[in-house]
Homo-oligomer: A and B are copies of this chain.
Amino acid sequence: MAVTMNDVARVAGVSLKTVSNVINNYEFIRPATKQRVLDAIDELGYEANLTARSLRSGKTSMIGLVLADLSIPYYAELASDIMKAAWARGYRVLVEQSGNGPGHEKAALQGQFRTLTDGLLFIPLALDAEQIMEAAGKKPLVLLGEYVQDPRLNMVLIQNHRAAAAVTAHLLAGGRRRIAVLGAHDGDTTGSNGLRLEGYKAALADAGVAYDPALVIDCDWRRDGGAEGTARLLDSGVEFDAVFGLNDALALGALHELLVRGRKVPEEIAVAGFDDIDEAKFASPSLTTVAPGRAEIAERAVELLINRIENKDAPLHVQQPQAAFELRIRQSAP
């Protein structure tokens, strides 16, 4: 039904191999022959069948991207950047939403769609390094974020510790002394939550401010989690003059709840987040946050993965580049 290379070969009066040579930009081909083939392709409206090409070449030119949910702005923005970076290198991205929980994450990682990809980009939330290595199989894999740390895995790191310390230092410099943290559990030391909490503690220590576990509120990393956590904090009677949401969604939820309760931001309570999603700039008041270098993360991750894909036989030289971060000071914590 569809036009094939055979049809093109027949119309152009050449062999299949010659058509293939033209399509794949083989150098040594007579200009006249090449032109005849191109004309035939044009005339017939031939389009290469990527499925057949993949089966034969063993390469799909697709990379898988496993993340929790595209409706979460940070992931959506990162996915958009990743798709652009991949596209620029001739790859396409197949997104797989893992939803919540380790079970789903594992299933997503092992899904049949893997046979359609040359390698995998993965933003882990629940699985640890061992589980990831077991579930991911043997195709090239690059992790994003810093939920797991393991010297055997390629990953692009966010400077969670240093960036969180920078946010905290900024709040301290603004005179805040009772800075609540949303999105961590007192004692966390690993994962984005733990590393950011540690950065927060380090900045407090640097400034000689005491750490108070009562200011650390565990809640879901979403807007409603931030609102709910803030409500709990307000109801508890614990005093605080700033809120540091460990991601922007938390901070925006906090902002909402504080304003609903008639608290003035930033006069009474400063608010800061982490991620610099597009929305942060247009919140009212606009949100002070830290940009973890999203475009760079996307770029490096794609680059790393494609390097692994195209140099399968090269010795596995694990790389863990860090993206540069940048503090974005806005109205919510000037």
Contact = CB atoms under 8 A, between A and B. Distances in A.
Specify the main secondary structure of chain A where it touches its partner. Answer: helix
Interface of A: 47-52, 54-55, 60, 69-71, 73, 76-77, 79-81, 83-84, 87, 92-95, 97, 112-116, 223-224, 227, 252-253, 255-256, 259-260, 278-279, 281-286
A93 B69 CA distance: 14
A92 B81 CA distance: 21
Given A76-B70, A76-B73, A223-B278, A48 B284 contact: no
B80 A282 contact: no
Given A50-B113, A51-B54, A70-B80, 8 more contacts: A50-B112, A50-B116, A51-B115, A71-B76, A73-B73, A83-B95, A223-B279, A223-B282
A112 B48 contact: yes
A242 to B, nearest CB: 17
Contacts of A255: 284
A277 to B, nearest CB: 9
A287 to B, nearest CB: 11
17 contacts: A48-B115, A50-B112, A50-B116, A51-B51, A51-B116, A52-B55, A55-B55, A69-B80, A70-B77, A71-B80, A87-B97, A92-B116, A95-B95, A223-B279, A256-B282, A256-B286, A283-B283
B281 A283 contact: no
A77 to B, nearest CB: 5
A203 B54 CA distance: 55
Nearest to A81: B71
A94 B285 CA distance: 37
A65 B164 CA distance: 37
B284 A256 contact: yes
Contacts of A83: 70, 95, 97
Given A50-B112, A51-B115, A51-B116, A95 B97 contact: no
Contact of A79 (B70, B112, B224): B70
Q: Which of A115, A116, A282 has the most CB of B within 10 A?
A: A282
A81 B76 CA distance: 13
A232 to B, nearest CB: 17
Which 7 A-B residue pairs are closest in the complex by CB-CB distance?
A: A76-B76, A70-B80, A71-B80, A259-B284, A223-B282, A71-B77, A51-B54
Nearest to A94: B94
A253 B279 CA distance: 10
A113 B116 CA distance: 13
Nearest to A59: B51
Contacts of A71: 76-77, 80-81, 278
A225 to B, nearest CB: 11
Nearest to A49: B115
